[in-house]
Amino acid sequence: MSNDSVTQAVMERYASAAKNAEQVCTPDGYDMAFLATYIPQSVLDIANGCGVPVGLGTVQPGETVLDVGSGGGIDCFEASRVAGKDGKVIGVDMTDEMLEIARSSADAVATNLGYPQSNVEFRKGKAEKLPVEDHTIDVIISNCVVNLSPDKPQVFREMYRALKVGGRFTISDVVADHAIPNYLLNDRDRWGACLSGAMYTRDYLHTVRETGFVGVHQVGVAPWGIIDGVHFSALTVTGYKIAVDSGTLSNRDRYSGYAMLKGPFKWVTDEQEQTFVRGVWRGVNQRTLDILRLEPFQPWFLFSNDIKAGTMLKDDDPEIVRILPEDKPCVWNGHYATLTSLFDRAEDDDHHQYDAGVPMEICSKTHDVLTHPKYASFFHILNRAQQPVSGEAVTCDPTPTGACC
C-alpha cells in the first residue's frame, strides 16, 4: 500500500468510528465514571487507545501539552484538568469528524472544571507535519497513533522539533516481536485496527533514539494480540530531549566527571554506544552526565567529580547490585525476554547478552532473574508457547565455556 492509501484507510476507519460512536481500540485504565463528571459522553464513547491514560500522570500544572492523534479529545481534556487553568493543551488530529466532536465539547469541559475559558485547542493536521511551532511543548502524549502513520521516523522528528529542550514524551503504541510480513503491511483493514502498522520493537526503539531522544525507557507493557505467530504488545515508553553541547561524544578526553554502573547488569552499552562495566568508574563528558542524571538512570549509577577512571569497587561492596540465578535445573516454558529500557546492549551474570528490542528465549531460572524487581523494568517478557509445555528440567553450566541456557 502507498502512504496515501494507508492514510486514507486510517481516516475512513476513524471517521466511521466518530459517526457511529464506536471504539476501534478500547483503552484500559480510565476511570470513566470520574471522567464523565466533566467530559461529555459523546467524547467517552469514541475513546480509542492501546494503553492506560498515557503520560497524564507526569503532566505538571502550567505546562503546555501536545496530544498527537487526539481523536475525540479524552486525553486532552484530562490533560487540561491536570495542567490547570494556567496550562495549555493542543490536540492534533487529521479526521474532521473527530475534531468536530472534540471542539464542540471544549467549552462544556472548561465550564465543568470551573475555568473562565477553555485552555484546549484542537488543530487539524497529520502526525508527520504537526501544526505547532518549534520548541514550544513541554510534554507530548500519544495513545496508539504512531503505528497508524506510514512514515514513523518523520513522526518522531516532528515530535523532537516541537519539544522544548528539557521536554519529554510519553507514548503508548503497538509493537511486534517480529518484522511485519508483507501480506499484513498491505492489509487495509488491519492498518486501521492498529496492527499492520506496528513496528518490530527493535526498529521502534532504534528509530526513537536515532531521532535524538535519550533516556528512552519502558513505563508499561501489555499483550495486545497474536496474528499468525506474530505477537503484538502495547508498549508505553518515555524519552527526553536534552541540550546538545558543542563537544562530541567520541572525545573521551573531555571528562566532566565520572560515573559507575551499580548493576544489576554485568555491563551495559548506552544509547551513545558507551560501555559501562559494573563497579568500574569511567570518565564521561557533560552530555553523558546530563543523561545519566535523568530520573530513569539514577538508581543504577554512582557519580563522582574526582575519582580516578578505572578505579573498581569490590564485588561485595554494598553499592553493587547483583541478581544471580539459583543453582538448580531449569525448564523451558516458552518465555522470551526483550530489553526495552535505557540501554542498547547488556549482559547479565549468567552470560546472556541482550540487544534492545530483540526477543531472546529464556529458561525458568533466567525468567526468575529478569522478573526480580531490580530487573523487571528493563524487560518485556512474553510467552510464545501456544499450548502447555511438558519439557523436562535440564542442567546448564553458567560459565563462559559452559552450556548456559
83 and 23 assigned to the same domain:
yes
Q: Structure pTM?
A: 0.88
Residue 366's pLDDT is 95
Higher-confidence residue of 177 and 403: namely 177
232 and 271 assigned to the same domain:
no
Residue 16's pLDDT is 47
Last residue of a domain, one of 292, 322, 352: 322
Last residue of a domain, one of 322, 347, 367: 322
Percent of the chain residues past pLDDT 90, beyond the cut: 63
Quick check: 105 and 38 in contact, CB under 8 A? Answer: no
Q: Is residue 166 part of a domain?
A: yes
202 and 216 assigned to the same domain:
yes
CATH code of 339's domain: 3.40.5.100
113 and 134 assigned to the same domain:
yes
Mean pLDDT value across residues 278-306: 94
371 and 392 assigned to the same domain:
yes
Mean pLDDT value across residues 68-85: 93
136 and 212 assigned to the same domain:
yes
Expressed as residue numbers, the domain containing 213 is 3-240
Count structural domains, the chain. 3
Higher-confidence residue of 66 and 243: namely 66
Q: Is residue 246 part of a domain?
A: no
Say if residue 236's pLDDT is above 50: yes
Q: Is residue 135 part of a domain?
A: yes
71 and 206 assigned to the same domain:
yes
Residue 19's pLDDT is 47
330 and 309 assigned to the same domain:
no
Q: Is residue 245 part of a domain?
A: no
CATH code of 140's domain: 3.40.50.150
Nearest to 341 by CA among 368, 375, 302: 375
Quick check: 281 and 304 in contact, CB under 8 A? Answer: yes
Q: Is residue 310 part of a domain?
A: yes
386 and 265 assigned to the same domain:
no
233 and 365 assigned to the same domain:
no
230 and 297 assigned to the same domain:
no
Q: At what angle do helices 96-113 and 74-83 cross, to 10 degrees?
A: 30
Average pLDDT, the chain: 86
Higher-confidence residue of 255 and 355: namely 355
Torsion sign over Cα 10, 13, 19, 23: negative
Last residue of a domain, one of 240, 261, 292: 240
Nearest-angstrom CA–CA distance, 338 and 357: 5
207 and 73 assigned to the same domain:
yes
Q: Is residue 27 part of a domain?
A: yes
Q: Is residue 40 part of a domain?
A: yes
Say if residue 159's pLDDT is above 70: yes
Residue 151's pLDDT is 92
Q: Is residue 149 part of a domain?
A: yes
